[in-house]
Homo-oligomer: A and B are copies of this chain.
Amino acid sequence: MEKNRLEAFSDGVLAIIITIMVLELHVPHPTDQRLHPNEFIDLKPLLPVFLTYVLSFIYLGIYWNNHHHLVKAAQKVNAAMMWANLHLLFWLSLFPFVTGWMGENHFTTAPTALYGVVMFMAAIAYFILQSVIIAQHGRGSKLAMSIGRDFKGKFSPVMYAAAVAAAFFRPWISCGLYVLVALMWLIPDRRIERALD
């Protein structure tokens, strides 16, 4: 099985997920209170949805970037890898839903927790895909060594789990954690790993 088509399919799904999310940003439609919702004030209720969209966009960007490096390093594609990849895409495909629910409900408990659950599952799915690829190449392979101890990959799900728990007390802490993890991935690799060590 050629890597080529696995990449093309994943690119397609990720590109669609990232773009479909923007559909949750509904153009304000006329209501009885606002016959012509054409002022900046009419966008105010959309602000939380927009902020969540930005956050999810960054996360999907990070996933696309990491996925790219990971699959590039893989030398061949087998069935396990194919299904591990589909499993990851499944959890990522739920991003538009949780993004919309969290944004529309202004970061209240349940939606904020669910967002974390999907983040957690996606992180686990990525970890599985990575393990499948490493297993295929051997622990001593160049790929395995380049991933190394994988601090970020192991730390992220812990943070997501903490965020899910925090949502039941202070949802804004969860949101803070989501932003923090995103920043951790955005800042170039080595320095942060050293700093956090």
Tally of A interface residues using CB under 8 Å: 59
Beyond A5-B11, A68-B1, A72-B1, is A38–B111 a contact (Cβ under 8 Å)? yes
Q: Which of B11, B20, B101 contacts A19 (CB 8 A)?
A: B20
Q: Which of B19, B29, B114 contacts A16 (CB 8 A)?
A: B19
A7 contacts across to B, CB distance below 8 A: 5, 8
Q: Which residue of B lies closest to A68 (CB)?
A: B5
A69 contacts B1, C-beta separation under 8 Å: yes
B23 contacts A93, C-beta separation under 8 Å: no
Min C-beta distance of A113 to chain B, whole Å: 8
A18 contacts across to B, CB distance below 8 A: 13, 89, 93
- A195 in contact (CB, < 8 A): no
A186 contacts across to B, CB distance below 8 A: 83
Map CB proximity to B onto A52-86 as digits: 1 under 8 Å, 0 otherwise.
00100100010011001100100000010011001
B22 contacts A105, C-beta separation under 8 Å: no
Min C-beta distance of A4 to chain B, whole Å: 9
Q: Which residue of B lies closest to A104 (CB)?
A: B27
Interfacial residues, chain A to chain B (CB-CB below 8 A): 1-2, 5, 7-9, 11-20, 22-25, 27-29, 36-40, 42-43, 54, 57, 61, 64-65, 68-69, 72, 79, 82-83, 86, 89-90, 93-94, 96-97, 100-101, 104-105, 108-111, 114, 186, 188
